[in-house]
Amino acid sequence: MTVSRDLTAILTFLNAVSRACSEAPTPEAAIRDCLGIVARFTGWPIGHAYRRKRDGSDTLSSMRAWHLAVSGDAPQADSFVAASEGAVFAPGQGLVGQVAANGAPVSCEDVTTLPGFVRAETARRNGVRGCFMFPVRIGENVEIVLEFFSRDRADPKDELLELMAYVADRLSLAITENAQRDRLGTLMRALDGIARQLAETTAQVENGAKSVLAVAKTADARRTEVDRANGDAARAIDAAAQSAQKLVGLSREANDYAERIGTSPSDRPGFSTRRWRSLRTFRTASPISARSAG
């Protein structure tokens, strides 16, 4: 392979990784796409991803994300897949835990002879040999470990592992941007809920204000009616007082007239002494009554 051809292949590889990470709808989809892109670029047929568990234990478990190239003469990898999906690694435990703890890529020519490789037996039965792994960091922590396996003994060159750093960076960016979109979506939903509550509260306040205004109008109308009734009563009282004063005046005029002509009503036929005394009492008391009425 010529240098120009190697460069073309590398640029095509990098472009495919970038496009997969930017266009994938979820981080999980981006990881699956990158597993296939790396596997095809390197010729290593098996790719798998581990991710830090969300329970706060810092252990890594399988994402159940795979790339498995079909080969007619190669053994099936079902047992190796099952063993990988059932394995959980603490930081520093096995190759996966070593990558998580150190944050650096590792490689092994033959995992079936590697001491402490817990999947060695199933790897041997399924024809799995060479391996390389590299981390994907989110901030200061290793969030994901990608692992790739070959069917033959193989040890990738350092240049290949360095190239995998670009894959890790692009995946890290995709995961971070997705998390930011999720946080933004959560914030927007919260703000939308607050806006709806404010709208409902505003409507309730407006309805309450309308009710208060209606009560105020009713009270004002009733107050006007009461004021009108009080005015009518005052005018009636004034009219009654004026009438009483007129009666007192007439009574006095009649008495004066009687005194001037030297007669009294008792001298008149049919006029009893009792009625005359009542009339004189009324005439005497009328000014006091009129003043009381006033």
Q: What's residue 286's pLDDT?
A: 47
Average pLDDT of the residues in 180-200:
78
> Residue 234: what residue type?
A
Q: Is residue 139 part of a domain?
A: yes
CB count within 10 Å of CB 167 equals 23
If DSSP codes are grouped into helix, strand and coil, which group holds residue 144?
Answer: strand
Backbone torsions φ then ψ of 168, nearest 5 degrees: -60, -40
Q: Is residue 205 part of a domain?
A: no
Q: What is the span of the domain harbouring residue 58?
A: 3-188
**Are 21 and 173 a contacting pair, CB within 8 Å?**
yes
The runs of H, that is alpha helices, within the chain are 3-23, 27-42, 78-86, 94-102, 120-125, 158-261, 273-293
Q: Is residue 268 part of a domain?
A: no
Average pLDDT of the residues in 93-119:
95
Is the model's pLDDT at 270 over the cut of 70?
no
| Distance from C-alpha of 271 to C-alpha of 265, rounded to nearest angstrom | 6
Strand partners, 66: 48
Cα 259–chain centre separation? 102
Cα 198–chain centre separation? 13
pLDDT band at residue 175 using 50, 70 and 90 as cut-offs: very high
Q: Is residue 94 part of a domain?
A: yes
Is the model's pLDDT at 291 over the cut of 50?
no
Q: Is residue 34 part of a domain?
A: yes
Q: What is the CATH number of the domain that holds 29?
A: 3.30.450.40
Q: What is the pLDDT of residues 6-32, one digit of tens each?
A: 889 999 999 999 999 999 999 999 999
Q: What is the pTM of this model?
A: 0.64
**Are 134 and 145 a contacting pair, CB within 8 Å?**
yes
Q: What is the pLDDT of residues 132-142, one digit of tens each?
A: 999 999 999 99
